[in-house]
Structure 1
Amino acid sequence: MSTLITHLSTQKDYRKALKTWRPVVFYFGHPQCYACGMAEPLFCKVAETFEDRAVIYKLSTDQSPRHPEVTGTPTVLFYKDGKLRRKLKGIGDPASFGQTFAELVGRTRPRRLPAPRHHDVRWLRQQIRTLCTARRAPALLRLRATPR
């Protein structure tokens, strides 16, 4: 999975990661943990379906700085708008984990960009009226120069 972010170097990176409009998911595992070895493929499979709707971090507890909410591995933290929405200690069965993931991340849609501005005839007439052509320039300059 190419879009999973796998390394955070400082505590400051956690705070920076949460400053986004998209949901943020942190998965914490350890390479020598038996439960993490079973949970990681399931997490990657489920996270792959939601990678365009959330920012997903797959972190190793021996390489990343300590997170205050993580007391054991595997742990999954779901954040939305910078606030912790749910903490899962262990993943459980695939159906309930997929349902939890869909519940917390699945409804998020990308923000829509503002529609391009369409110019109508009225706008075009206004623009033409304000254009300064060479023939009208002396008359406009005289108008602006006279005191009101």
Structure 2
Amino acid sequence: MKKATTITITILAFILVGALIIGWSIYQKKKDVAAEPSLYVRIFSDENFETDVVEASKTRPILVDFYADWCFPCRMLDPIIEEVAKELKGRAIIGKLNTDKNLIARRFGITKIPAIFIIRDGEIKNAFYGVVPKETIVKALAEFGA
């Protein structure tokens, strides 16, 4: 009985270590999510936020995905954001802002990520936290003219 328990614990330890190694290697490959260029998703920063988000929100809704490179749920949200941007074909501006590299996130009181803000006419009209289904995001953007 004791030998079987020891063997079981050893096997579970190997599985856990293997999963951690695989997870770490995936993390390293996708370390800087926004570094990969996209035709559909813009990169927002402290420097361009006023013009690319606040001013642009007067003509159409803006989706800002607040993220960090180390955030696993943020990476899970990436393909969803990309799909939303492709589907809307310019009816809304879709972009990402790295909270670790841009102080503008503090202006919005971002305390948890991923955070998705929909901005229209310079104001936050809707906000979501965590991984959100594509349909929810598209519907929310449609409410503000996308």
Structure 1, unaligned stretches of length 5 or more? 110-148
Structure 2, unaligned stretches of length 5 or more? 1-37
2:120 to 80, 84, 106: 80
In 1, Cα distance between equivalents of 2:65 and 2:39: 15
2:141 alignment partner AA: L
Question: Alignment partner of 2:55: what SS?
Answer: coil
Q: Is the 8 Å Cα contact of residues 66 and 96 (structure 2) preserved in structure 1?
A: yes
1:19 to 35, 50, 55: 55
Question: Alignment partner of 1:22: what SS?
Answer: coil
State the TM-score, normalized to the length of structure 1.
0.60
Q: Quickly say closer, same or farther: Cα 1:52–1:72, change in 2 above 3 A.
A: same
Name the Cα RMSD after superposition: 2.2
In the TM superposition, structure 1's runs of 4+ consecutive aligned residues that sit over 3 Å from their partners are none
In 2, Cα distance between equivalents of 1:36 and 1:3: 17
The 5-angstrom pairing of residues 1-148 of structure 1 reads 1-10=38-47, 13-16=48-51, 17-20=53-56, 21-67=59-105, 68-69=107-108, 70-92=110-132, 94=133, 97-105=134-142, 108=145
| Most deviating of 15-24 and 78-87 | 15-24
Query: Which of the pair is proportionally richer in helix?
Result: 2
Give how far 1:2 is off: 0.8
Q: Quickly say closer, same or farther: Cα 1:107–1:65, change in 2 above 3 A.
A: closer
Question: Alignment partner of 1:18: what SS?
Answer: helix
State the TM-score, normalized to the length of structure 2.
0.60
